[in-house]
Amino acid sequence: MSWAHERWRQDPSLHIYHYAAYEVTALRRLMGRYAVCEEEVAQLLRAEAFVDLYSVVRQGLLVSTRYFFFLTPPQTFGTTNPACWATSI
């Protein structure tokens, strides 16, 4: 945590990317349990340095179909050729 905080102090535009809320929740839990790096974690949280990629992906995918499952792209995109899926959106 000290390493990440020092890099953030050097460059305040730094972001720490993670997937889902587990990492931030674990940092908060460990910070509370062991009373270590409390100020560093608090500063990073206030600066919104943590970027949850799960929410980015979830908000970034828009499909115009009644039912969409990641396991059924041929029905969704109208082709079985994976190379066409990106251009079908």
pTM given for the model: 0.62
Could you read off the pLDDT of 8-34 as tens digits, one per residue?
Answer: 999 999 999 999 889 999 999 998 899
Helices (DSSP H) in the chain: which residue ranges?
A: 2-10, 22-34, 38-46, 53-60, 73-77, 82-88
15 phi and psi, to 5 degrees?
A: -125, 150
Could you read off the pLDDT of 46-79 as tens digits, one per residue?
Answer: 999 999 998 888 777 665 555 555 555 555 555 5
**Exposed/middle/buried for residue 29 (C-beta within 10 Å: 0-12, 13-18, 19+):** exposed
Is the pLDDT higher at 35 or at 84?
35
H or E stretch covering 17: strand 16-18
Number of domains the chain is built from = 1
For residue 88, pLDDT beyond 50: no
State residue 73's pLDDT score. Answer: 53
Average per-residue pLDDT for the chain: 79
State residue 9's pLDDT score. Answer: 95
Q: Which residues span the domain enclosing 51? A: 2-88
- Largest Cα–Cα separation, the chain: 54
